[in-house]
Chain A
């Protein structure tokens, strides 16, 4: 079960800025564990988008940015494009149950 909470959906027109929140707790993000973000285009495997809260792998456009504060993190997409329509998941580590990797509930981004 997901222990990180994300909004089910966000939408925006091309060129707009959208943000996706990821809310955790004192056993994961609040304990200092880093947050990573993945993009899953329809019918495909997840792809790493942001690692270590705010680092982009090679090839990821700088329209994507991440931040973390307290028990939450955020992903921002500026200059929204049609090809950004996808599901987005945050991921972190949780110290409970002996330690485990946890995902957010997922957010569907729709480009209007």
Chain B
């Protein structure tokens, strides 16, 4: 059974940093792209960051709202994807989900999702 489990969320002050982890099991982690999404309270889904699998170059993409502050990375030997979040702002408050990405023609869809971890940025 495919599982993705996020961890590392919590309450943090504006300007501080937090690192989220996403541990995968039940599939060959290194074969899949990974992505992070977020959902602010009562709001819709927002894509945050994306990393291709190493066979496809391991390249990364970021939403404009987090570019320069967030970094996505992966450790395939441990089946973990990370989201390093620096200089956090109150607007980053959300549930953060990780998801595995599968290629369909030229781009990706997101087939398995974790249960999410809550990040609250507040003084």
**A residues whose Cβ falls under 8 Å from a Cβ of B:** 2, 33-34, 36, 38, 40, 44-48, 51-52, 57, 89, 91, 93, 97-106
Write the nearest CB–CB distance from A65 to chain B, whole angstroms.
16
Interfacial chain A residues near B82, Cβ < 8 Å:
none
Using A101-B50, A103-B44 as known contacts, say yes or no to A48 and B115 having CB atoms under 8 A apart: no
The 5 sampled A-B contact pairs (Cβ below 8 Å) are: A36-B109, A36-B110, A46-B45, A51-B111, A98-B61
User: Which of B12-20, B24-32, B72-80, B100-108 forms contacts with chain A?
Assistant: B100-108
B47 touches A103 (CB 8 A): yes
Count of chain A to chain B residue pairs whose CB atoms are closer than 8 Å in the complex:
69
Bound form: Cα–Cα A57–B111 in Å: 9
- In the complex, the answer to whether B44 meets A47 with C-beta atoms within 8 Å is no
Output the least CB separation between B9 and chain A (Å): 14
CB proximity of A46 to chain B, nearest CB, Å? 5
| A97 & B64 in contact (Cβ 8 Å cutoff) | yes
Q: Top 3 nearest A-B pairs by Cβ distance?
A: A101-B47, A36-B109, A93-B107
Interface of B is mostly: strand
Q: When chains A and B are docked, how far (Å) is the Cα of A5 from the Cα of B17?
A: 33
Since A48-B113, A91-B45, A103-B45 are in contact, a sample of 16 more A-B pairs with Cβ atoms closer than 8 Å, ordered by chain A residue number, is A33-B106, A36-B104, A45-B114, A46-B37, A46-B97, A46-B110, A48-B111, A91-B110, A93-B106, A93-B107, A99-B61, A101-B35, A101-B50, A101-B108, A103-B46, A106-B45
Given A100-B61, A101-B47: A47 touches B113 (CB 8 Å cut-off)? yes
CB-CB contacts of B55-85 with A at 8 A, as 1s and 0s?
Answer: 0000001011000000000000000000000
Complex alpha-carbon distance, A40 and B50, angstroms: 21
The answer to whether A106 and B105 have CB atoms under 8 Å apart is: no
Contact A51 B97 (CB under 8 A): no
List the A residue with the shortest CB-CB distance to B50: A101
Knowing A45-B116, A100-B63, A101-B35, the reply to whether A38 touches B45 (Cβ < 8 A) is yes
CB-CB under 8 A from B35, the residues of chain A are: 101
